[in-house]
Copies of this chain bind each other. A is one copy, B any other.
Protein backbone atom coordinates (compact mmCIF):
# COMPACT_ATOMS: atom_id res chain seq x y z
CA UNK A 1 0.00 0.00 0.00
CA UNK A 2 2.74 2.51 0.72
CA UNK A 3 6.45 2.83 0.24
CA UNK A 4 6.80 3.64 3.92
CA UNK A 5 7.31 0.21 5.29
CA UNK A 6 10.98 -0.32 4.54
CA UNK A 7 11.83 3.10 5.78
CA UNK A 8 10.02 3.09 9.06
CA UNK A 9 11.17 -0.33 10.09
CA UNK A 10 14.50 0.84 11.37
CA UNK A 11 13.58 4.41 12.06
CA UNK A 12 10.81 4.06 14.66
CA UNK A 13 10.68 7.79 15.27
CA UNK A 14 8.08 7.50 17.99
CA UNK A 15 10.35 5.42 20.14
CA UNK A 16 13.09 8.02 19.98
CA UNK A 17 10.69 10.37 21.75
CA UNK A 18 10.39 8.50 24.98
CA UNK A 19 7.06 7.92 26.68
CA UNK A 20 5.31 9.54 29.56
CA UNK A 21 5.38 6.99 32.28
CA UNK A 22 4.09 9.31 34.96
CA UNK A 23 0.88 7.68 36.11
CA UNK A 24 -1.00 10.89 36.65
CA UNK A 25 -0.34 12.06 33.12
CA UNK A 26 -1.23 8.67 31.70
CA UNK A 27 -4.46 8.73 33.65
CA UNK A 28 -5.33 12.12 32.18
CA UNK A 29 -4.42 10.92 28.75
CA UNK A 30 -6.58 7.85 29.19
CA UNK A 31 -9.52 10.11 29.98
CA UNK A 32 -8.63 12.44 27.09
CA UNK A 33 -8.64 9.56 24.62
CA UNK A 34 -11.82 8.10 26.12
CA UNK A 35 -13.54 11.48 25.72
CA UNK A 36 -12.36 11.59 22.12
CA UNK A 37 -13.99 8.21 21.60
CA UNK A 38 -17.29 9.32 23.09
CA UNK A 39 -17.37 12.46 20.94
CA UNK A 40 -16.49 10.40 17.87
CA UNK A 41 -19.35 8.02 18.61
CA UNK A 42 -21.79 10.90 18.89
CA UNK A 43 -20.50 12.38 15.64
CA UNK A 44 -20.75 8.99 13.93
CA UNK A 45 -24.47 8.85 14.69
CA UNK A 46 -24.94 12.18 12.88
CA UNK A 47 -22.70 11.16 9.98
CA UNK A 48 -24.55 7.89 9.53
CA UNK A 49 -27.67 9.86 8.58
CA UNK A 50 -25.89 12.52 6.50
CA UNK A 51 -26.84 12.49 2.82
CA UNK A 52 -24.04 11.91 0.31
CA UNK A 53 -24.21 15.49 -0.94
CA UNK A 54 -23.53 16.87 2.52
CA UNK A 55 -20.51 14.62 3.03
CA UNK A 56 -19.23 15.60 -0.42
CA UNK A 57 -19.69 19.27 0.41
CA UNK A 58 -17.50 18.77 3.47
CA UNK A 59 -14.85 16.96 1.41
CA UNK A 60 -14.78 19.69 -1.24
CA UNK A 61 -14.71 22.45 1.36
CA UNK A 62 -11.80 20.69 3.06
CA UNK A 63 -9.97 20.56 -0.26
CA UNK A 64 -10.53 24.28 -0.69
CA UNK A 65 -9.36 24.93 2.85
CA UNK A 66 -6.11 23.04 2.17
CA UNK A 67 -5.55 25.19 -0.92
CA UNK A 68 -6.40 28.39 0.94
CA UNK A 69 -4.27 27.51 3.95
CA UNK A 70 -1.30 26.28 1.93
CA UNK A 71 1.12 28.69 3.51
CA UNK A 72 0.08 27.92 7.05
CA UNK A 73 0.33 24.18 6.41
CA UNK A 74 3.80 24.58 4.90
CA UNK A 75 4.84 26.69 7.88
CA UNK A 76 3.64 23.99 10.26
CA UNK A 77 5.50 21.45 8.15
CA UNK A 78 8.66 23.58 8.36
CA UNK A 79 8.48 23.32 12.17
CA UNK A 80 8.23 19.52 11.92
CA UNK A 81 11.09 19.36 9.42
CA UNK A 82 13.31 21.52 11.57
CA UNK A 83 12.73 19.38 14.63
CA UNK A 84 13.28 16.22 12.58
CA UNK A 85 16.56 17.53 11.19
CA UNK A 86 17.66 18.48 14.69
CA UNK A 87 17.05 14.88 15.71
CA UNK A 88 19.22 13.75 12.80
CA UNK A 89 16.50 12.65 10.39
CA UNK A 90 17.62 12.68 6.76
CA UNK A 91 17.14 11.15 3.33
CA UNK A 92 13.98 9.27 2.41
CA UNK A 93 12.50 9.63 5.90
CA UNK A 94 12.79 13.38 5.75
CA UNK A 95 11.40 13.38 2.22
CA UNK A 96 8.30 11.53 3.38
CA UNK A 97 7.71 14.13 6.04
CA UNK A 98 8.13 17.07 3.70
CA UNK A 99 5.15 18.85 2.18
CA UNK A 100 5.42 20.91 -1.01
CA UNK A 101 2.84 22.98 -2.89
CA UNK A 102 2.50 20.06 -5.32
CA UNK A 103 1.91 17.59 -2.49
CA UNK A 104 -0.70 19.93 -0.97
CA UNK A 105 -2.50 20.14 -4.29
CA UNK A 106 -2.40 16.34 -4.63
CA UNK A 107 -3.97 16.09 -1.17
CA UNK A 108 -6.74 18.55 -2.08
CA UNK A 109 -7.39 16.79 -5.39
CA UNK A 110 -7.48 13.46 -3.54
CA UNK A 111 -10.31 14.75 -1.32
CA UNK A 112 -12.23 15.86 -4.41
CA UNK A 113 -11.75 12.44 -5.96
CA UNK A 114 -13.14 10.83 -2.82
CA UNK A 115 -16.14 13.18 -3.04
CA UNK A 116 -16.72 11.97 -6.60
CA UNK A 117 -16.96 8.31 -5.55
CA UNK A 118 -20.42 6.72 -5.39
CA UNK A 119 -21.98 6.76 -1.92
CA UNK A 120 -21.08 3.43 -0.28
CA UNK A 121 -23.81 3.93 2.34
CA UNK A 122 -27.41 2.92 1.68
CA UNK A 123 -26.61 0.41 -1.05
CA UNK A 124 -29.04 -2.51 -1.07
CA UNK A 125 -26.66 -5.46 -0.91
CA UNK A 126 -29.39 -8.08 -1.16
CA UNK A 127 -33.18 -8.13 -0.98
CA UNK A 128 -35.64 -10.98 -0.92
CA UNK A 129 -39.17 -11.84 0.08
CA UNK A 130 -40.20 -14.59 2.47
CA UNK A 131 -43.21 -16.86 1.95
CA UNK A 132 -44.96 -15.05 4.83
CA UNK A 133 -44.71 -11.78 2.92
CA UNK A 134 -41.83 -10.24 4.87
CA UNK A 135 -39.44 -8.28 2.66
CA UNK A 136 -35.86 -8.45 3.91
CA UNK A 137 -33.18 -6.08 2.65
CA UNK A 138 -29.52 -6.07 3.62
CA UNK A 139 -28.47 -2.41 3.42
CA UNK A 140 -24.99 -0.90 3.75
CA UNK A 141 -24.46 1.37 6.78
CA UNK A 142 -21.28 3.02 8.07
CA UNK A 143 -18.94 0.99 10.26
CA UNK A 144 -18.99 3.62 13.00
CA UNK A 145 -15.79 4.95 14.50
CA UNK A 146 -12.46 4.15 12.84
CA UNK A 147 -9.08 4.64 14.50
CA UNK A 148 -6.18 5.24 12.10
CA UNK A 149 -2.67 4.88 13.44
CA UNK A 150 0.06 5.94 11.06
CA UNK A 151 3.61 7.14 10.85
CA UNK A 152 5.23 10.22 9.48
CA UNK A 153 3.50 10.91 6.14
CA UNK A 154 1.20 13.87 6.92
CA UNK A 155 -0.95 13.35 3.81
CA UNK A 156 -2.47 10.24 5.42
CA UNK A 157 -4.37 12.71 7.62
CA UNK A 158 -6.33 13.93 4.58
CA UNK A 159 -6.56 10.60 2.75
CA UNK A 160 -7.74 8.52 5.68
CA UNK A 161 -9.93 11.22 7.19
CA UNK A 162 -11.58 11.83 3.82
CA UNK A 163 -12.24 8.18 3.07
CA UNK A 164 -13.74 7.56 6.51
CA UNK A 165 -15.99 10.60 6.09
CA UNK A 166 -17.17 9.45 2.65
CA UNK A 167 -18.31 6.15 4.15
CA UNK A 168 -20.14 7.98 6.95
CA UNK A 169 -17.64 7.06 9.66
CA UNK A 170 -16.09 9.17 12.36
CA UNK A 171 -12.28 9.00 12.39
CA UNK A 172 -9.78 9.26 15.21
CA UNK A 173 -6.41 9.94 13.65
CA UNK A 174 -3.15 9.24 15.41
CA UNK A 175 -0.22 10.24 13.21
CA UNK A 176 3.47 10.02 13.97
CA UNK A 177 4.76 12.58 16.45
CA UNK A 178 7.32 13.89 13.92
CA UNK A 179 4.48 15.19 11.71
CA UNK A 180 2.44 16.56 14.61
CA UNK A 181 2.24 20.18 13.44
CA UNK A 182 1.73 19.33 9.76
CA UNK A 183 -1.07 16.88 10.53
CA UNK A 184 -2.66 19.36 12.90
CA UNK A 185 -2.80 22.01 10.19
CA UNK A 186 -4.34 19.55 7.72
CA UNK A 187 -6.82 18.32 10.33
CA UNK A 188 -7.92 21.92 10.91
CA UNK A 189 -8.80 22.12 7.20
CA UNK A 190 -10.81 18.90 7.36
CA UNK A 191 -12.70 20.18 10.39
CA UNK A 192 -13.41 23.48 8.65
CA UNK A 193 -14.82 21.51 5.74
CA UNK A 194 -17.05 19.58 8.14
CA UNK A 195 -18.26 22.75 9.81
CA UNK A 196 -18.96 24.46 6.50
CA UNK A 197 -21.13 21.52 5.47
CA UNK A 198 -22.97 21.57 8.79
CA UNK A 199 -21.40 18.34 10.02
CA UNK A 200 -19.84 17.89 13.47
CA UNK A 201 -16.13 18.74 13.71
CA UNK A 202 -15.80 15.72 15.99
CA UNK A 203 -16.26 13.52 12.93
CA UNK A 204 -12.47 13.77 12.40
CA UNK A 205 -10.32 14.24 15.50
CA UNK A 206 -6.99 13.36 17.01
CA UNK A 207 -5.51 13.17 20.51
CA UNK A 208 -3.74 16.50 21.00
CA UNK A 209 -0.50 14.98 22.23
CA UNK A 210 2.64 13.32 20.93
CA UNK A 211 2.67 10.97 23.91
CA UNK A 212 3.05 7.44 22.59
CA UNK A 213 0.80 6.14 25.35
CA UNK A 214 -2.14 7.60 23.42
CA UNK A 215 -1.80 4.72 20.95
CA UNK A 216 -2.20 2.19 23.73
CA UNK A 217 -5.31 3.94 25.01
CA UNK A 218 -6.81 4.06 21.54
CA UNK A 219 -6.20 0.32 21.10
CA UNK A 220 -8.19 -0.40 24.26
CA UNK A 221 -11.15 1.80 23.32
CA UNK A 222 -13.37 -1.05 22.17
CA UNK A 223 -16.48 0.57 23.60
CA UNK A 224 -16.35 3.45 21.15
CA UNK A 225 -13.96 2.46 18.37
CA UNK A 226 -15.20 -0.16 15.90
CA UNK A 227 -12.04 -0.87 13.94
CA UNK A 228 -8.38 0.13 13.91
CA UNK A 229 -6.49 0.61 10.65
CA UNK A 230 -2.72 0.89 11.15
CA UNK A 231 -0.59 2.27 8.32
CA UNK A 232 3.15 2.06 8.40
CA UNK A 233 6.09 -0.22 9.00
CA UNK A 234 6.10 -3.72 10.36
CA UNK A 235 6.99 -2.58 13.87
CA UNK A 236 3.87 -0.43 14.08
CA UNK A 237 1.53 -3.04 12.60
CA UNK A 238 2.93 -5.74 14.83
CA UNK A 239 2.41 -3.64 17.93
CA UNK A 240 -1.13 -2.74 16.93
CA UNK A 241 -2.06 -6.35 16.14
CA UNK A 242 -0.58 -7.61 19.40
CA UNK A 243 -2.08 -4.96 21.69
CA UNK A 244 -5.40 -4.03 20.13
CA UNK A 245 -8.65 -4.91 21.88
CA UNK A 246 -10.41 -3.45 18.83
CA UNK A 247 -10.57 -5.43 15.55
CA UNK A 248 -7.73 -4.51 13.16
CA UNK A 249 -7.77 -4.29 9.37
CA UNK A 250 -4.19 -4.55 8.13
CA UNK A 251 -1.48 -6.67 6.67
CA UNK A 252 1.73 -7.50 8.44
CA UNK A 253 3.73 -8.67 5.42
CA UNK A 254 3.54 -8.46 1.68
CA UNK A 255 5.71 -11.39 0.72
CA UNK A 256 4.44 -11.65 -2.85
CA UNK A 257 5.43 -14.30 -5.38
CA UNK A 258 5.52 -14.33 -9.14
CA UNK A 259 5.54 -17.87 -10.52
CA UNK A 260 6.69 -18.51 -14.07
CA UNK A 261 4.98 -21.73 -15.08
CA UNK A 262 6.31 -24.03 -17.81
CA UNK A 263 3.52 -22.76 -20.02
CA UNK A 264 4.49 -19.09 -19.61
CA UNK A 265 4.79 -16.82 -22.63
CA UNK A 266 8.42 -15.64 -22.46
CA UNK A 267 7.67 -12.01 -23.33
CA UNK A 268 4.88 -11.76 -20.74
CA UNK A 269 7.05 -13.50 -18.17
CA UNK A 270 9.86 -11.00 -18.72
CA UNK A 271 7.66 -7.93 -18.62
CA UNK A 272 5.67 -9.07 -15.60
CA UNK A 273 8.61 -10.36 -13.52
CA UNK A 274 10.62 -7.18 -14.00
CA UNK A 275 7.67 -4.87 -13.36
CA UNK A 276 6.49 -6.90 -10.35
CA UNK A 277 9.91 -6.53 -8.70
CA UNK A 278 11.29 -3.20 -9.80
CA UNK A 279 8.51 -0.74 -10.65
CA UNK A 280 8.50 0.27 -7.00
CA UNK A 281 10.39 -1.94 -4.59
CA UNK A 282 9.00 -0.44 -1.37
CA UNK A 283 5.30 -1.21 -1.83
CA UNK A 284 3.62 -4.20 -0.29
CA UNK A 285 2.60 -5.60 -3.70
CA UNK A 286 6.20 -5.79 -4.94
CA UNK A 287 7.31 -9.32 -5.75
CA UNK A 288 9.95 -10.64 -3.37
CA UNK A 289 10.39 -14.18 -4.67
CA UNK A 290 10.36 -15.39 -8.27
CA UNK A 291 9.52 -19.05 -8.77
CA UNK A 292 10.35 -20.70 -12.09
CA UNK A 293 9.60 -24.14 -13.42
CA UNK A 294 12.92 -25.98 -13.69
CA UNK A 295 12.21 -27.17 -17.24
CA UNK A 296 11.97 -23.63 -18.61
CA UNK A 297 14.36 -21.80 -16.28
CA UNK A 298 17.22 -21.79 -18.78
CA UNK A 299 14.93 -20.39 -21.48
CA UNK A 300 13.02 -17.84 -19.45
CA UNK A 301 15.42 -16.53 -16.84
CA UNK A 302 18.48 -15.10 -18.66
CA UNK A 303 16.76 -12.04 -20.20
CA UNK A 304 14.81 -11.45 -16.97
CA UNK A 305 17.96 -11.60 -14.83
CA UNK A 306 19.64 -9.23 -17.31
CA UNK A 307 16.83 -6.70 -16.98
CA UNK A 308 16.77 -6.99 -13.20
CA UNK A 309 20.55 -6.64 -12.88
CA UNK A 310 20.45 -3.68 -15.23
CA UNK A 311 17.77 -2.17 -12.98
CA UNK A 312 20.09 -2.45 -10.00
CA UNK A 313 18.47 -5.51 -8.47
CA UNK A 314 20.50 -7.86 -6.31
CA UNK A 315 19.79 -11.48 -7.27
CA UNK A 316 19.78 -14.38 -4.82
CA UNK A 317 19.07 -17.83 -6.16
CA UNK A 318 19.22 -21.55 -5.62
CA UNK A 319 21.96 -23.62 -7.26
CA UNK A 320 20.12 -23.98 -10.57
CA UNK A 321 19.64 -20.21 -10.85
CA UNK A 322 23.22 -19.52 -9.84
CA UNK A 323 24.36 -21.87 -12.61
CA UNK A 324 22.56 -19.68 -15.14
CA UNK A 325 24.08 -16.35 -14.16
CA UNK A 326 27.29 -15.51 -12.28
CA UNK A 327 25.65 -12.39 -10.80
CA UNK A 328 23.31 -14.56 -8.75
CA UNK A 329 24.49 -15.03 -5.16
CA UNK A 330 23.35 -18.01 -3.08
CA UNK A 331 19.95 -17.65 -1.42
CA UNK A 332 19.67 -18.92 2.15
CA UNK A 333 16.56 -20.43 3.71
CA UNK A 334 15.85 -17.07 5.31
CA UNK A 335 15.50 -15.47 1.88
CA UNK A 336 12.28 -17.34 1.14
CA UNK A 337 10.76 -15.73 4.25
CA UNK A 338 12.06 -12.21 3.72
CA UNK A 339 10.05 -9.23 2.50
CA UNK A 340 12.94 -7.12 1.22
CA UNK A 341 11.01 -3.98 0.21
CA UNK A 342 14.28 -3.24 -1.56
CA UNK A 343 15.94 -4.00 -4.92
CA UNK A 344 16.67 -7.61 -3.98
CA UNK A 345 14.97 -10.66 -5.47
CA UNK A 346 15.16 -14.30 -4.42
CA UNK A 347 14.76 -16.74 -7.30
CA UNK A 348 13.93 -20.41 -6.92
CA UNK A 349 13.39 -23.19 -9.42
CA UNK A 350 10.53 -25.59 -8.74
CA UNK A 351 9.53 -28.91 -10.23
CA UNK A 352 6.11 -27.63 -11.25
CA UNK A 353 2.79 -26.19 -10.07
CA UNK A 354 2.56 -28.44 -7.00
CA UNK A 355 5.92 -27.33 -5.66
CA UNK A 356 5.11 -23.69 -6.43
CA UNK A 357 1.82 -23.96 -4.54
CA UNK A 358 3.53 -25.65 -1.61
CA UNK A 359 6.27 -22.99 -1.52
CA UNK A 360 3.73 -20.16 -1.51
CA UNK A 361 1.62 -21.88 1.16
CA UNK A 362 4.68 -22.25 3.38
CA UNK A 363 6.45 -18.94 2.82
CA UNK A 364 3.78 -16.54 1.54
CA UNK A 365 1.92 -13.91 3.50
CA UNK A 366 -1.56 -14.32 1.98
CA UNK A 367 -1.23 -10.94 0.29
CA UNK A 368 -0.73 -11.10 -3.49
CA UNK A 369 0.64 -13.82 -5.77
CA UNK A 370 0.79 -14.24 -9.53
CA UNK A 371 1.14 -17.04 -12.05
CA UNK A 372 2.41 -16.42 -15.55
CA UNK A 373 1.25 -19.09 -17.97
CA UNK A 374 -0.74 -19.70 -21.13
CA UNK A 375 -1.99 -22.97 -19.61
CA UNK A 376 -5.55 -22.17 -18.52
CA UNK A 377 -5.88 -25.25 -16.32
CA UNK A 378 -2.70 -24.41 -14.43
CA UNK A 379 -3.87 -20.81 -14.05
CA UNK A 380 -7.27 -21.85 -12.69
CA UNK A 381 -5.66 -24.18 -10.18
CA UNK A 382 -3.29 -21.44 -9.03
CA UNK A 383 -6.14 -18.91 -8.69
CA UNK A 384 -8.22 -21.41 -6.73
CA UNK A 385 -5.56 -22.87 -4.46
CA UNK A 386 -3.31 -19.98 -3.54
CA UNK A 387 -4.85 -18.65 -0.35
CA UNK A 388 -4.09 -14.97 -0.78
CA UNK A 389 -6.20 -11.82 -0.74
CA UNK A 390 -5.26 -11.21 -4.39
CA UNK A 391 -4.30 -13.86 -6.92
CA UNK A 392 -3.35 -12.83 -10.45
CA UNK A 393 -2.95 -14.57 -13.77
CA UNK A 394 -0.62 -12.90 -16.26
CA UNK A 395 -0.48 -9.51 -14.55
CA UNK A 396 2.02 -7.79 -12.28
CA UNK A 397 1.68 -8.13 -8.52
CA UNK A 398 2.14 -4.34 -8.38
CA UNK A 399 -1.56 -4.04 -9.32
CA UNK A 400 -2.36 -4.87 -5.66
CA UNK A 401 -3.80 -1.43 -4.99
CA UNK A 402 -7.26 -0.02 -4.41
CA UNK A 403 -6.78 2.66 -7.06
CA UNK A 404 -5.68 0.08 -9.64
CA UNK A 405 -8.71 -2.02 -8.69
CA UNK A 406 -10.94 0.93 -9.55
CA UNK A 407 -11.96 1.57 -5.95
CA UNK A 408 -10.93 5.20 -6.21
CA UNK A 409 -8.95 5.28 -3.00
CA UNK A 410 -7.89 2.86 -0.30
CA UNK A 411 -7.03 3.14 3.33
CA UNK A 412 -4.82 0.06 3.16
CA UNK A 413 -4.71 -3.61 2.21
CA UNK A 414 -5.91 -6.29 4.59
CA UNK A 415 -4.76 -9.89 4.70
CA UNK A 416 -6.99 -11.02 7.55
CA UNK A 417 -10.01 -13.09 6.59
CA UNK A 418 -12.73 -11.21 8.45
CA UNK A 419 -14.75 -8.32 7.06
CA UNK A 420 -12.46 -7.01 4.32
CA UNK A 421 -9.69 -8.80 2.46
CA UNK A 422 -7.47 -7.03 -0.06
CA UNK A 423 -7.76 -3.29 -0.71
CA UNK A 424 -9.85 -1.47 1.90
CA UNK A 425 -11.78 1.26 0.11
CA UNK A 426 -14.94 3.18 0.90
CA UNK A 427 -17.20 0.14 0.41
CA UNK A 428 -15.09 -1.90 2.82
CA UNK A 429 -15.51 0.81 5.45
CA UNK A 430 -19.19 -0.04 5.72
CA UNK A 431 -21.19 -2.60 7.68
CA UNK A 432 -24.80 -3.52 7.00
CA UNK A 433 -28.15 -3.88 8.71
CA UNK A 434 -31.33 -5.76 7.85
CA UNK A 435 -34.48 -3.80 7.11
CA UNK A 436 -37.50 -6.02 7.41
CA UNK A 437 -40.85 -4.75 6.17
CA UNK A 438 -44.03 -6.52 7.15
CA UNK A 439 -47.78 -6.03 7.30
CA UNK A 440 -48.45 -7.31 10.78
CA UNK A 441 -46.67 -10.69 10.65
CA UNK A 442 -46.16 -12.59 13.87
CA UNK A 443 -44.00 -15.67 14.28
CA UNK A 444 -46.00 -18.88 14.68
Contact = CB atoms under 8 A, between A and B. Distances in A.
Interface of A: 45, 48-49, 128, 130, 134, 136, 141, 143-144, 226-227, 247, 265, 267-268, 271-272, 274-276, 279, 361, 379, 383-385, 387-396, 398-399, 404-406, 416-419, 421-422, 431-443
A421 B417 contact: no
Contact of A406 (B128, B361, B442): B128
Contacts of A417: 143-144, 226-227, 431
Given A49-B384, A383-B435, A422-B433, 9 more contacts: A128-B406, A130-B406, A271-B442, A394-B441, A395-B436, A399-B436, A419-B419, A422-B432, A422-B434
A431 B144 CA distance: 21
5 contacts: A130-B404, A227-B418, A275-B443, A394-B438, A396-B441
B399 A443 contact: yes
A45 B136 contact: no
Given A49-B385, A128-B406, A443-B396, A391 B227 contact: no
A49 B419 CA distance: 21
Contacts of A389: 433-434
Contacts of A279: 442-443
Contacts of A226: 417-418
A388 B48 CA distance: 13
A434 B394 contact: no
B436 A390 contact: yes
A439 B393 CA distance: 8
Contacts of A418: 143, 226-227, 247, 418-419, 431
Contacts of A435: 383, 391, 393
A399 B48 contact: no
A136 B178 CA distance: 39
Contact of A434 (B268, B274, B384, B405): B405
Nearest to A269: B440
B247 A392 contact: no
A144 B442 CA distance: 37
A296 to B, nearest CB: 17
Contacts of A276: 442
Contacts of A422: 432-434
Nearest to A438: B395
B421 A431 contact: yes
Most B CB within 10 A of own CB, among A48, A417, A439: A417
Contacts of A361: 45
Contact of A395 (B134, B144, B227, B433): B134
A437 B268 CA distance: 13
A424 to B, nearest CB: 12
Given A130-B406, A431-B418, A433-B389, A442 B136 contact: no
Contacts of A227: 417-418
Nearest to A274: B442
A13 to B, nearest CB: 28
A126 B247 CA distance: 25
A442 B396 contact: yes
A24 to B, nearest CB: 27
Nearest to A417: B431
A279 B279 CA distance: 64
Nearest to A427: B126
Nearest to A379: B437
A243 to B, nearest CB: 10
A431 B420 CA distance: 8
Given A387-B45, A387-B48, A432 B440 contact: no
A441 B265 CA distance: 13
Contacts of A419: 418-419
A434 B395 contact: no
